[in-house]
Amino acid sequence: MTTALRRLRNYIDGEFRDAADGRTTEVVNPATGEPYATAPLSGSEDVDAAMAAAEAAFPAWRDLIPAERQKVLLKIADRFEERAEELIAAESENCGKPIALVRSEEIPPMVDQIRFFAGAARMLEGRSAGEYMDGFTSIIRREPVGVCAQVAPWNYPMMMAVWKFAPALAAGNTVVIKPSDTTPASTVLIADIIGSVLDELGHPRGVFNVVCGDRETGRLMVEHRVPAMASITGSVRAGMQVAESASKDLKRVHLELGGKAPVVVFEDTDIAKAVEDIATAGYFNAGQDCTAATRVLVQESIHDEFVAALAKAASETKTGAVDDEGVLYGPLNNANQLKQVKGFIERLPAHAKIEAGGEQVGEKGYFFAPTVVSGLKQDDEIVQQEVFGPVITVQSFTDEKQAVEWANGVEYALASSVWTKDHARAMRMSKVLDFGCVWINTHIPLVAEMPHGGFKKSGYGKDLSAYGFDDYTRIKHVMTSLDG
C-alpha cells in the first residue's frame, strides 16, 4: 500500500494554485529518502501571473505610511509564534532537521528578525534637507524599488525566506519568492500565514506570492520584465547566472553566495573551549551553512593537541532522526549533496588524513558522519572549494603572516573567526581578514541588528540590519526653487 503524497501549491494573488500546465515534482524527506509531497513545477504562465499580482499590488502597498506596514509585519511575527509548531513540523520534514533545534534555534530568531524590520520600516534615514545651491532646497526621498524576485536556498528555507521578504515588505516592495525545489513546504506555509494577515488587515492580496519550481522557474523570474530587483541566496554558479540574466535589463541584484570561512586558532587559545565551539559551529545543520566553521587554521605548536581534541569532539557529536535526543544535526539535504560530500572525501590527496568520520551513516536518508581531515595543503580541493557538509579541515600555520595569507587565500569572503587571548592580535587580524564578518573567540552568532554578507565570490549586498533594509530601497533627490 502506498501513502498518498501531500499536494503543495503556489500562492498567487491570495490564492493557492497548481501550476497552470499541471506539472509537479516530488518532494523528498532527506531523513528517510522517501517522497512525502508534490509541488508545482511552475512555468512562464505561473511566473507571469505572480508578477502581475505583485505589480498590481505595489502602488497601494508602496503608498502606505510606514506605521501601517509595521502593523502588518508585527502581526506576521505574532502569527509565526502562534503557528510555530506547524512551521517546525514543515521545516523538519523539509530538511530532516531535529525538531528541538528548529524550535530553539530558528523560530525565535525569525520572529525577532521580522519584528526588527517592522521597526526599520519607520526609520527611513537620509541626509537632512538643505540649501546646497543659492535659491534652491534639496531633499532626499527613500523609496521602495518595486517588485522583488527572490530565490531562497534549501539549507535554511524558512529563515532565508524571512531574511528576504521581511526587509522587502518593510521597505514597501511587493514580493514573488521561489523556494528551492527540494524544500518548498515551509515557504508555502509562510504564504498561508502572510496571506491571512494581509486579508485581515485589508491589504492587497498580491503583496506576497510564492512560486514553486526548479532552476528554470528561477530563471524565468529573474528575466521577467516586471521585477526591479532580483535576490538570491545560493551557490556561486547560481549567483553568476542571476547576475548575468539580470544584466540584460539592468535589474538590481542582491547575492548571498558561498563561503569558506577560515577559523584561525592561535597558540594562546583555550583549546578545550575553542574545540567545543568550533565543532558546534562546523557541524550545526550538517555543515550546510555558508558561514560554517569548516576550515580551521591552527598554529603549529598546538596543532596535534587541537586535532586530537577535535577528533574526539567529532566522535561524540550525534546525527540522527528528527526526534532523537542529543542530535546536533540531521541529514544532508538531498541525494546530490550527499554525493558531493562523498566526492570530496573520495578525492582526498595522499597526504591528507581522516581523523574522524568520513562516511555515510545509516541505511536510509542522507546522513553523513561528523568528519575531521588533517594534513592538508593550501591548494587542496577540499581547502579551496565549499564542501557544504559536516566536514572540518585542519591546516597548520607557523606565524600570523602565514595565517593571514592562507585565511584570505580562497575565492570566498563571507565570514571568518580569530581565536586568541591577545587583544592587539585580534584587532590586527580583524583589520586584514578579507571577509564580511570577523568573529573573535566565537563563530556563527548572528543578530538582526548587524549585517550579514560577503565580498569576492561570496556575493554582494547585505542581509539583516539597517544595511539589509537599505538594499531594498532607492534614493531620489528632489530639488525645489525658493523663488516661489
In a domain, 294, yes or no: yes
The pLDDT, as a whole number, for residue 199 is 97
Q: In whole angstroms, what is the distance from residue 119 CA to residue 113 CA?
A: 10
pLDDT tier for residue 124 given thresholds of 50, 70 and 90:
confident
Q: Which residue has the cell 491571512?
A: 196
**Residues 106, 256, 355, 386: which is the catalytic one?**
256
Are 426 and 312 members of one domain? yes
| Active-site annotation holds for 290 | yes
- Each residue of 259-273: pLDDT tens digit? 999 999 999 999 999
**Residues 93, 290, 355, 386: which is the catalytic one?**
290
The pLDDT, as a whole number, for residue 21 is 97
Are 405 and 465 members of one domain? no
DSSP state of 138: E
Model pTM score: 0.96
DSSP state of 268: T
Describe the strand order of the beta sheet including 437-440 as a list of residue ranges: 353-356, 371-374, 391-397, 295-299, 262-265, 415-419, 437-440
Are 147 and 284 members of one domain? no
In a domain, 172, yes or no: yes
In a domain, 1, yes or no: no
In a domain, 452, yes or no: no
CB count, 10 Å around CB of 400? 17
The answer to whether residues 112 and 203 touch, using CB atoms and an 8 Å cutoff, is no
- Each residue of 137-149: pLDDT tens digit? 999 999 999 999 9
Are 252 and 275 members of one domain? no
Dihedral over alpha carbons 277, 283, 284, 285 (to 10 degrees): 170
Count Cα atoms within 13 angstroms, Cβ side, for 27: 32
Q: In whole angstroms, what is the distance from residue 355 CA to residue 352 CA?
A: 9
Are 237 and 279 members of one domain? no
Q: Which residue has the cell 592587539?
A: 424
| CATH assignment of the domain containing 202 | 3.40.605.10
| Active-site annotation holds for 256 | yes
Averaged pLDDT for residues 2-21 = 93
Q: Which residues of 8-29 are buried (b: 16+ CB within 10 A; e: fewer)?
A: bbbbbbbebbbbbeeebbebbb
The pLDDT, as a whole number, for residue 125 is 78
Q: Mean pLDDT score of the chain, rounded to an integer?
A: 97
Judged against a pLDDT cut of 70, whether residue 37 lies above it is answered with yes
Q: Rounded to whole angstroms, what are the CA distances from 317 to 133, 283, 310, 320, 382?
A: 66, 8, 10, 10, 22
The pLDDT, as a whole number, for residue 4 is 86
In a domain, 484, yes or no: no
The domain tally of the chain equals: 2
- Each residue of 275-323: pLDDT tens digit? 999 999 999 999 999 999 999 999 999 999 999 999 999 999 999 999 9
Are 199 and 294 members of one domain? no
Q: Rounded to whole angstroms, what are the CA distances from 286 to 313, 370, 475?
A: 15, 8, 41
The pLDDT, as a whole number, for residue 128 is 82
In a domain, 453, yes or no: no
Averaged pLDDT for residues 239-246 = 94
| CATH assignment of the domain containing 272 | 3.40.309.10
- Each residue of 191-238: pLDDT tens digit? 999 999 999 999 999 999 999 999 999 999 999 999 999 999 999 999
The pLDDT, as a whole number, for residue 437 is 98
Are 469 and 381 members of one domain? no
For 271, the domain range is: 262-447
The pLDDT, as a whole number, for residue 77 is 98
The pLDDT, as a whole number, for residue 2 is 53
Judged against a pLDDT cut of 80, whether residue 69 lies above it is answered with yes
In a domain, 400, yes or no: yes
Find the DSSP H helices in 144-224. Answer: 157-170, 185-200, 215-223
Are 133 and 234 members of one domain? yes
Are 340 and 381 members of one domain? yes
Judged against a pLDDT cut of 60, whether residue 40 lies above it is answered with yes
CA angle 94, 98, 103 (to 5 degrees): 90
Are 393 and 419 members of one domain? yes
Backbone angles phi, psi at 174, to 5 degrees: -110, 160
Cell of 468: 539589509
Are 43 and 179 members of one domain? yes
Q: In whole angstroms, what is the distance from residue 92 CA to residue 74 CA?
A: 25
Judged against a pLDDT cut of 70, whether residue 1 lies above it is answered with no
Judged against a pLDDT cut of 80, whether residue 68 lies above it is answered with yes
Q: In whole angstroms, what is the distance from residue 317 CA to residue 302 CA?
A: 22
Are 313 and 204 members of one domain? no
- Each residue of 316-373: pLDDT tens digit? 999 999 999 999 999 999 999 999 999 999 999 999 999 999 999 998 999 999 999 9
- Each residue of 84-108: pLDDT tens digit? 999 999 999 999 999 999 999 999 9
Q: In whole angstroms, what is the distance from residue 291 CA to residue 443 CA?
A: 8
In a domain, 350, yes or no: yes
Q: How far is CA 189 from the centre of its chain?
A: 18
